[in-house]
Amino acid sequence: MNDQLVIMPFEIVGSGICVSSDNGQKIHDQITKALREGKKVNISFLNIGSVTSAFLNAAIGQLYGEFAEETIKDSLSVSGMDQNDLVLLKRVVETAKEYFKDPERFKKTVEEILEGENAG
């Protein structure tokens, strides 16, 4: 029995451009279902030319609010991503982990930053 699911955003999104959070949510829903079933998941970015943080936040970032970090680390992998997109993914993951540690503190910090920018 193969307990690894390969998710291909190219097939789900229908193009090589992964930019919208709506499309990221479609990927997220498939990842979540597989993880809840105890499967390992590989997200293959084969044929994907453009990825945004909005897409990655929806697809992967919000997992950190639903699953333990260890579960994600042990069960989720990505392949076929270019170096720039891997850097973006790392940033999304780090931000998500910080956010879900203390969402209220994170929101307050963002509000303070935005108020400071609007005061100038």
What pLDDT shows up at residue 120?
57
Question: Is it the case that residue 18 has pLDDT exceeding 90?
Answer: yes
Residues sharing a CB contact under 8 Å with residue 89, sequence separation 6 or more, in sequence order: 51, 56, 60, 78, 81
For 119, phi and psi rounded to 5 degrees? -70, -25
Per residue in 91-119, pLDDT (tens digit) is 999 999 988 988 788 778 888 888 887 76
Per residue in 33-53, pLDDT (tens digit) is 999 999 999 999 999 999 999
- Cα separation values, 89 from 17, 75, 106, 117, 120, Å: 15, 16, 19, 27, 32
Per residue in 50-64, pLDDT (tens digit) is 999 999 999 999 999
Question: Is it the case that residue 24 has pLDDT exceeding 90?
Answer: yes
Question: Is it the case that residue 27 has pLDDT exceeding 50?
Answer: yes
The stretch 82-87 carries a mean pLDDT of 95
Which SS3 state, helix, strand or coil, does residue 59 take?
helix
The stretch 75-103 carries a mean pLDDT of 94
Residue 60, CA atoms < 13 Å, CB-side half-sphere: 28
The Cα–Cα gap between 62 and 16 comes to 22
What pLDDT shows up at residue 1?
42
Domain residue extents for the chain: 4-119
pTM, to two decimals: 0.86
The Cα–Cα gap between 22 and 81 comes to 20
